[in-house]
Chains A and B, each alone.
Chain A
């Protein structure tokens, strides 16, 4: 089936550094999402993105977070600067449209550890 690829699968960085998480969505999909999952907890919505713009974001999407997809390349989540509480698994997802029952396809996640 359709695949969303996330690079890298693991990332370890020092607090205060910048990190960029990369997502290669399904090729013809138009809507992109980031979700955050702290160990042992549920996935929580961070942001969705369409046509070069953030459409919705949650309170977890702090000012230090930003997303972009320059020229159809990777959909990225940048955190600058990182904090200890940013340690989590970040899942990227994509969908073709935003119809009422459109399937979200998730990547395998990037495990971010902030030391």
Chain B
């Protein structure tokens, strides 16, 4: 199986600064790492993902890094805005599974004006 640890559980940042969320996983056979954003009462939405053949991916103010040796991956939100306030979940998927994602416990991000 797989276990995913996610830290911090709560993150408060000033608008315009960057925010970083870190996740670690246990099983080196995991090969796919998506990040989901969930706003209150809404469904989780995929915001960015990274495969195990990459170390870095960037899109629209989001950067994900993957360190396979350390079994660690992270999400960095640059130039945060109030609209970035939400719950963020990292996840890992074991190679060969039917898209069975193991999620982290979530990070509540609050961007303060």
* Chain A residues proximal to chain B, CB less than 8 Å: 4, 31, 33, 35, 41-45, 48, 50, 55-56, 58, 91, 95, 98, 100-109
Contact yes or no, A45 B102, CB < 8 A: yes
* Chain B residues proximal to chain A, CB less than 8 Å: 4, 6, 31-32, 34, 36, 41-46, 49, 51, 89, 95, 97-106
Given contacts A42-B105, A42-B106, contact A55 B98 (CB under 8 A): yes
25 contacts between A and B (CB under 8 A): A4-B43, A33-B99, A35-B101, A42-B4, A43-B89, A43-B101, A48-B98, A56-B97, A98-B99, A100-B32, A100-B95, A101-B32, A101-B51, A102-B99, A103-B49, A104-B99, A105-B46, A106-B43, A106-B44, A106-B45, A107-B43, A108-B41, A108-B42, A108-B43, A109-B43
Contact yes or no, B43 A42, CB < 8 A: no
Contact yes or no, B42 A42, CB < 8 A: no
Summed over the interface, the residue pairs from A and B with CB atoms below 8 Å come to a total of 61
Given contacts A31-B98, A106-B44, contact A42 B103 (CB under 8 A): yes
A104 to B106 alpha-carbon distance, docked (Å): 17
A106 to B42 alpha-carbon distance, docked (Å): 9
Residues of B within 8 A of A48 (CB): 98-100
Taking the nearest CB of chain B, how far is it from the CB of A98, in angstroms? 5
B89's partner among A31, A42, A55 (CB-CB below 8 A) is A42
